[in-house]
Amino acid sequence: MKRIKLLVFIIPMVWGLHCEAFSEVPQYVVQELGVVLKDINNMGHVIGRNNYRQCFIWQNGTYLYLNEPGEIDFSGYAINNYGQVAGITSSFDAAVWDSGTVTNIGKLPGRYYAEPADINDLTQVVGWSSHFIPGIGPDAGHATLWQDGQIVDLGTLGGQYSQAYAINNSSRIVGRAQLPNSDSRPFLWQDGQMINLGLPFGQEIEGVSTWASDINDKGQVLVYHGYICDNGIWTDIGSLGGGWTGAEAINNLGWVVGRSLTTEGTFKPFLYKDGVMCSLDSLISPDSNWRLIEAHGINDQGWIVGYGSYKDEGDINRKGGAYLLIPVPEPSSVFALGLAMFGTGLGWVRRKKK
């Protein structure tokens, strides 16, 4: 017990020292993009929504709108590296937007509501399908895979519900599933089987629940409460000093973003890179007038999307908005050329904002 207490006090100090001394952590510029940003791909395309409830893809300074102002016929949640967007229709079915065409891919039979969460480069979509409970709304549902025109129920770990949050390009799926005792555990679904990843470091504590929030193409599974599970080897990514972390996304370099509790008792978004966790606020200019609150996604170039608040010149009150963080110096000319080429493919379906 004494040893555990000692570690609790030492770890925040070590993280802080490493963050200040780590000169290779990239600095960022902040771009305000909309009300809600959902996802970012490796081409730098961001899926989001504005004040007019328009779903958009942002690419290199240009907005491509997927619906008309006020329409809610399609809302996008995730985007793959080919620019295909997984989302939901006004009839609560899962759907895929591709080059201006929305294809309804449905939901599990007998279910009321589909919630797509991710789409990989094979156009496989994962999420969950729910029943509707009168007076309450959709239940937690069952994890669902949409592929090749089929809708697959991924099952549970013996409990009543499961939800799939991410799929990589090897078709490995992660999420949360309920046990018979009502606790939830992170799962890995592969080769037709749902595998219980358990709690970090092999612990089994009744009454404790967690889940897997993301998986990269190396098979590293990000567990929400601040852990990476890599082929059975667990890594604690630490915190910003307050002992609690909520990890949202991991890229193929093993970089992680999310939100963590500081020693002052406030929550701040973070970047975890090469064993070091830093507050994102420390990586932007103090003159930006931004206060970063959450971080939801990161691509392989280190671009980060999230939510925060800011003041324009002359403002008295702060305004909430979604942000994109771009590393400085900006990506190489090769990457910029890739953006331009990919943008050409999307440009023919661009609609102007009305």
Percent helix, strand and coil across the chain, each to the nearest 5: 15, 50, 40
Measured between alpha carbons, how far is residue 340 from residues 114, 332, 336 in Å? 34, 13, 6
318: pLDDT confidence band, cut at 50, 70 and 90? confident
4 belongs to a structural domain: no
- Confidence bin at 8 (pLDDT 50/70/90): very low
Residue 227 placed within a domain? no
CA distance 325 to 30: 5
CB contact at 8 A, 293 and 287: no
Assess if residue 226 is contained within a domain: no
Domain presence at residue 159: no
In the block, which residue shows the tokens 């595998």?
195
Residue 23, pLDDT score: 41
pLDDT digits 0-9 by tens, 252-272: 999 999 999 999 999 999 999
Instruction: Report helix, strand or coil for 142.
Output: strand
Residue 315 lies in a domain: yes
Q: Please tell me the distance from the alpha carbon of residue 9 to that of residue 189, in angstroms, as a whole number.
A: 37
Is 40 contained in some domain?
yes
Q: Is 243 contained in some domain?
A: yes
Q: How far apart are CA 68 and CA 62, in angstroms?
A: 16
Total domains, the chain:
1
- Count other Cβ atoms within 10 Å, centred on residue 244: 13
Residue 195 belongs to a domain: no
The answer to whether the CB of 325 falls within 8 A of the CB of 304 is yes
The model's pLDDT over 167-217, given as tens digits with 9 standing for 90+, comes to 999 999 999 999 999 999 999 999 999 999 999 988 888 899 999 999 999
Which residues are CB-neighbours of 209 under 8 A, at least 6 positions away? 176, 183, 184, 185
Q: Please give the residue range of the domain that contains residue 325.
A: 18-46+237-331
Instruction: State if pTM tops 0.75.
Output: yes
Q: What is the 3-state secondary structure (H, E, C) of 170-217?
A: CCCEEEEEECCCCCEEEEEEECCEEEECCCHHHCCCCCCCCCEEEECC
For 141-169, the pLDDT digits (tens) are: 999 999 999 999 999 999 999 999 999 99
DSSP class of residue 51 equals T
Q: What are 276's strand-pairing partners?
A: 273
Q: How many CB atoms are located within 10 Å of the residue 254 CB? A: 18
β-strands 221-223, 227-230 pairing: antiparallel
